[in-house]
Structure 1
Amino acid sequence: MEAINNFLLLIDSYLGSAAWFPYVLLGVGVFFTLYLGFPQLRFFGHAWKVVSGKFDKKGARGDTSHFQALSTALSGTVGTGNIGGVALAIFLGGPAALFWMWVTAFLGMTTKFVEVTLSHKYRVQTEDGTMAGGPMYYMDRRLNMKWLAVIFALATIISSFGTGNMPQINNIAQSMEMSFGIDPMLTGGILAILLAMVIIGGIKRIAAVTSKIVPIMGGLYVIGALSVILYNVDQIGPSFAAIFTDAFTGSAATGGFLGATFAYAFNRGVNRGLFSNEAGQGSAPIAHAAARADEPVSEGMVSILEPFIDTIIVCTLTGLVILSSGVWSQKHENVFSRTDLDVIVGQYDDSSDADRTKLYHYLNDTKENQVNRFNGSIQVVNGSPVPGDYTILHARSVAENVQFIVAGENPYTGVLRIENGQLKKQDIVVKGESLVHSAALTSIAFSQGFIGSAGEYIVPISLMLFAFSTAIAWSYYGDRAVVYLFGQRGVMPYRILYVAGFFVASFADTTLVWTLSYVAIVLMTLPNLFGIFLLRREMKDTVKAYWEDFDAEQSKHKSDQ
Structure 2
Amino acid sequence: MAFFNAIGEEIEPVVSELNSIVWGPLLLILLVGTGIFLSFRVKFLQVSQLPYALKLAFSKRQDQKSDGDISHFQALMTALSATVGIGNIAGVATAVVSGGPGAVFWMWFAAFFGMATKYGEAVLAVKYRVTNEFGQKSGGPMYYIERGLGWKWLAVLFALFGTIAAIFGIGNMTQSNSVAEALHKTFGINPWITGFVLAVLTALVIIGGIKSIGRVTAFLVPFMCLFYVFGGLVIILLNIDLLPKAIALIFKEAFTAESVGGGVLGTAVRFGIARGLFSNESGLGSAPIAAAAAKTDHPSRQGLVSMTGTFIDTMIVCSITGITLVMSGVYAGADAGVDSASLTVKAFDGFLPVFGNTVVTTGLILFAYSTILGWSYYGEKCFAYLFTDRSIYIYRIIFVLFTFIGSGLSLELIWGIADIFNALMAIPNLIALLLLSGVIAEETKKFKEIRRRETGMEPPKEVPVR
Shared topology, TM-score over 0.5? yes
Superposition pairs of residues 432-511 of structure 1, within 5 angstroms: 435-449=337-351, 451-509=352-410, 511=412
Are residues 1:182 and 2:189 paired? yes
1:428 aligned residue: none
* Match 2:333 to one of 327, 330, 335: 330
* SS class of match (2:314): helix
> Are the counterparts in 1 of residues 174 and 418 from structure 2 also a CA contact under 8 Å?
no
Give the drift of 1:9.
Answer: 3.0
Are residues 1:230 and 2:237 paired? yes
CA 1:30–1:557 in 2, change beyond 3 Å: closer, same or farther?
A: closer
In the aligned structure 2, how far is the partner of 1:455 from the partner of 1:189?
27
1:210 aligned residue: 217
Give the drift of 1:159.
Answer: 0.6
* SS class of match (2:149): coil
Are residues 1:307 and 2:307 paired? no
Give the drift of 1:453.
Answer: 3.2
> Are the counterparts in 1 of residues 175 and 369 from structure 2 also a CA contact under 8 Å?
yes
* Match 2:108 to one of 98, 102, 110: 102
Give the drift of 1:504.
Answer: 1.7
In the aligned structure 2, how far is the partner of 1:456 from the partner of 1:556?
52
Give the drift of 1:303.
Answer: 1.2
> Are the counterparts in 2 of residues 29 and 111 from structure 1 also a CA contact under 8 Å?
yes
Tell me the alpha carbon deviations over residues 12-53 of structure 1, each in whole angstroms, 9 at most, x when there is no partner: 33221x122211111111111122211100111111232134
* SS class of match (2:43): coil
CA 1:297–1:446 in 2, change beyond 3 Å: closer, same or farther?
A: same
Q: Which has the larger radius of gyration?
A: 1
Q: Identity of paired residues, percent?
A: 44
Give the drift of 1:227.
Answer: 2.4
Are residues 1:219 and 2:226 paired? yes
Give the drift of 1:3.
Answer: 5.0
> Are the counterparts in 1 of residues 258 and 267 from structure 2 also a CA contact under 8 Å?
no
CA 1:177–1:558 in 2, change beyond 3 Å: closer, same or farther?
A: farther
> Are the counterparts in 2 of residues 196 and 499 from structure 1 also a CA contact under 8 Å?
yes
Tell me the alpha carbon deviations over residues 187-215 of structure 1, each in whole angstroms, 9 at most, x when there is no partner: 11122111100001100010100111111
> Are the counterparts in 2 of residues 91 and 437 from structure 1 also a CA contact under 8 Å?
no
How many equivalent residue pairs?
449
Give the drift of 1:551.
Answer: 2.6
Tell me the alpha carbon deviations over residues 320-343 of structure 1, each in whole angstroms, 9 at most, x when there is no partner: 1111122222224xxxxxxxxxxx
Higher fraction of helix: 2
Tell me the alpha carbon deviations over residues 80-127 of structure 1, each in whole angstroms, 9 at most, x when there is no partner: 000111111100011000010000100100000001111111111111
Are residues 1:247 and 2:254 paired? yes
| Letter matched to residue 111 of structure 1 | T
CA 1:67–1:88 in 2, change beyond 3 Å: closer, same or farther?
A: same
Tell me the alpha carbon deviations over residues 128-180 of structure 1, each in whole angstroms, 9 at most, x when there is no partner: 11111101001111210000000000000011021110111011011001101
1:539 aligned residue: 440
Are residues 1:521 and 2:422 paired? yes
Are residues 1:41 and 2:44 paired? no
> Are the counterparts in 2 of residues 114 and 300 from structure 1 also a CA contact under 8 Å?
yes
Are residues 1:15 and 2:18 paired? no
In the aligned structure 1, how far is the partner of 2:30 from the partner of 2:401?
36
CA 1:187–1:3 in 2, change beyond 3 Å: closer, same or farther?
A: closer
1:116 aligned residue: 122
> Are the counterparts in 1 of residues 213 and 374 from structure 2 also a CA contact under 8 Å?
yes
In the aligned structure 2, how far is the partner of 1:231 from the partner of 1:157?
44
Give the drift of 1:64.
Answer: 0.8
In the aligned structure 2, how far is the partner of 1:210 from the partner of 1:465?
11
Higher relative contact order (CA 8 A, sep 6+): 2
Are residues 1:266 and 2:168 paired? no
Give the drift of 1:511.
Answer: 4.7
> Are the counterparts in 2 of residues 97 and 265 from structure 1 also a CA contact under 8 Å?
yes
> Are the counterparts in 2 of residues 94 and 251 from structure 1 also a CA contact under 8 Å?
no
In the aligned structure 1, how far is the partner of 2:386 from the partner of 2:187?
42
In the aligned structure 2, how far is the partner of 1:14 from the partner of 1:173?
29
| Letter matched to residue 346 of structure 2 | I
1:375 aligned residue: none
In the aligned structure 2, how far is the partner of 1:487 from the partner of 1:86?
38
> Are the counterparts in 1 of residues 453 and 459 from structure 2 also a CA contact under 8 Å?
no
Give the drift of 1:233.
Answer: 1.2
> Are the counterparts in 1 of residues 258 and 266 from structure 2 also a CA contact under 8 Å?
no
Taking structure 1 as the reference length, the TM-score comes to 0.77
Give the drift of 1:510.
Answer: 5.8
CA 1:48–1:190 in 2, change beyond 3 Å: closer, same or farther?
A: same
Taking structure 2 as the reference length, the TM-score comes to 0.92
* Match 1:199 to one of 187, 201, 206: 206
| Letter matched to residue 530 of structure 1 | I
Give the drift of 1:11.
Answer: 2.9
Are residues 1:29 and 2:50 paired? no
Give the drift of 1:231.
Answer: 2.3
Unaligned runs of 5+ in 2: 1-6, 461-466
* Match 2:175 to one of 161, 168, 173: 168
In the aligned structure 2, how far is the partner of 1:326 from the partner of 1:229?
14
Superposition pairs of residues 297-446 of structure 1, within 5 angstroms: 297-332=300-335, 435-446=337-348
> Are the counterparts in 2 of residues 117 and 300 from structure 1 also a CA contact under 8 Å?
yes
CA 1:172–1:141 in 2, change beyond 3 Å: closer, same or farther?
A: same
CA 1:128–1:320 in 2, change beyond 3 Å: closer, same or farther?
A: same
1:355 aligned residue: none
Give the drift of 1:553.
Answer: 4.5
Unaligned runs of 5+ in 1: 253-259, 333-394, 396-434
